[in-house]
């Protein structure tokens, strides 16, 4: 990697790690807010915005995340491992699912988005546990020409890795799809 790309890599890692922490805080407040509203048996006006714009929020979040993964691999040359590819399959499919649903104004896609997100969450949780030092339960789908799943490409703030970013991202999609599906059924 050239020095210019190395600088971009380090800056992007730091920026995306901070955004991951911000997403985690946002998810925490969202969950607390949902619990608070459900205990009061009321519809919180704050969440009506999320419900109304769930499809474009899901689409743009998945699209930006996809662009970032492609930037890392195609421009910076950071090769994804086998488990990263499984996570990418779920993420890339979410771009198409949310995009088509938004285009057709079809709110019946949330169970499909939820299924893809749960799959991505399970893979990313397992992948993150591998990278922080737990032993393999299942073999990494690695071949000689790709990266080992257990070796982190980077660790920011002592715990944020690519799989951890996926954990937070798929948790966001799970919450978004679950919440919007529940609201659509009312």
For residue 135, the model assigns a pLDDT of: 65
Q: Mean pLDDT across the stretch 104-123?
A: 93
pTM score, whole prediction: 0.86
For residue 99, the model assigns a pLDDT of: 95
For residue 173, the model assigns a pLDDT of: 95
CATH number of residue 131's parent domain: 1.20.1550
Q: How many domains does the chain have?
A: 1
For residue 154, the model assigns a pLDDT of: 77
pLDDT digits (tens, 9 = 90+) for 1-30: 788 988 998 898 899 999 999 999 999 988
Rounded Cα distance between 142 and 144, Å, is: 7
User: Is 90 exceeded by the pLDDT of residue 98?
Assistant: yes
Q: CA 34 → CA 8, 143, 176, distances in Å?
A: 38, 44, 12
- Provide the domain limits for residue 61: 3-185
For residue 68, the model assigns a pLDDT of: 93
Those residues whose C-beta lies under 8 Å from the C-beta of residue 147, and which sit 6 or more positions away, are 79, 80, 81, 84, 153
Closest CA to 124 of 73, 178, 168: 168
């Amino acid at each position: 990697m050239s020095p210019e790309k190395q600088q971009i890599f380090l800056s992007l890692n730091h920026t995306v790690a901070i955004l991951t922490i911000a997403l985690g805080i946002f998810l925490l407040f969202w969950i607390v807010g949902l619990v608070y509203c459900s205990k009061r048996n009321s519809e919180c006006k704050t969440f009506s915005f999320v419900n109304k714009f769930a499809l474009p929020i899901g689409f743009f979040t998945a699209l930006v995340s996809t662009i970032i993964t492609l930037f890392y691999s195609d421009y910076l040359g950071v090769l994804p491992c086998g488990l990263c590819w499984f996570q990418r399959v779920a993420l890339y499919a979410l771009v198409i699912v949310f995009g088509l649903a938004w285009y057709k104004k079809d709110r019946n896609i949330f169970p499909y988005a939820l299924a893809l997100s749960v799959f991505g969450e399970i893979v990313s949780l397992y992948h993150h546990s591998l990278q922080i030092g737990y032993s393999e339960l299942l073999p990494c789908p690695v071949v000689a020409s790709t990266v080992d799943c257990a070796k982190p490409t980077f660790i920011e703030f002592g715990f944020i890795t690519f799989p951890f970013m996926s954990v937070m991202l798929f948790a966001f999609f799970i919450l978004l799809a679950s919440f919007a599906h529940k609201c659509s059924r009312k």
